[in-house]
Amino acid sequence: AEATKVTIYDGDDPSLPMWRVEDYTGLTLRAVIAINGQIWIGASTGVIASDYAGGDLGSTTLDYTTSTTPAIVNNSVNDFAAIVLPDAPIDPATGLLRVTIAVATNGGVSVIADNGSVYDSSETAGMAFVAFNESNRLFYNDDASDQVYYADTYAADGFSDGHYDTD
């Protein structure tokens, strides 16, 4: 990924040839994640979700912003994390398991659940980092704090189970 474009390589071919280049001129890209045939693009103005396995190739339309339904908590995206939860449903169009995406923004964290719902963290500071661990726990932190927040459940607004001090 670069500031305004994403280059996709063919992972099915051992020589990894370039498959396509997606042009996002007019957007400032800040985060990219790919999982189960989907590519999620985070920009300074929202999230683009492209389902390549389902035939949705390279849209530049913002799918999640503060004005969409469902909405994310803030348009300025800083990081993504993706996970396939143990009870994830199968997408009938692709046969792949649906993913859950966590989005770190300048106004907290939004989780886009595998059913399409969006849930926001109780923390509303700008979050720079987000990750899932092998136990499905969600971690996130901001640049202005010495704390790493975590949530074991994130299927409702206001999620936050606790925090760790980094010292």
Residue 113 phi, psi (nearest 5)? -70, 160
Q: Which bin fits 108, alpha (ψ -120 to 50), beta or left (φ > 0)? A: left
Could you report the average pLDDT of every consecutive run of 10 residues in the chain (167 residues)? 92 92 93 94 95 82 96 97 96 94 97 97 94 97 85 94 79
pLDDT of residue 107: 96
How many H-runs (helices) and E-runs (strands) does the chain carry? 0, 13
CA 36 to the chain's CA centroid: 13
CB 160 within 8 A of CB 149: yes
pLDDT of residue 164: 84
pTM above 0.85, yes or no: yes
Instruction: Return the closest-CA partner of residue 4 out of 33, 21, 28, 20.
Output: 28
DSSP 97: B
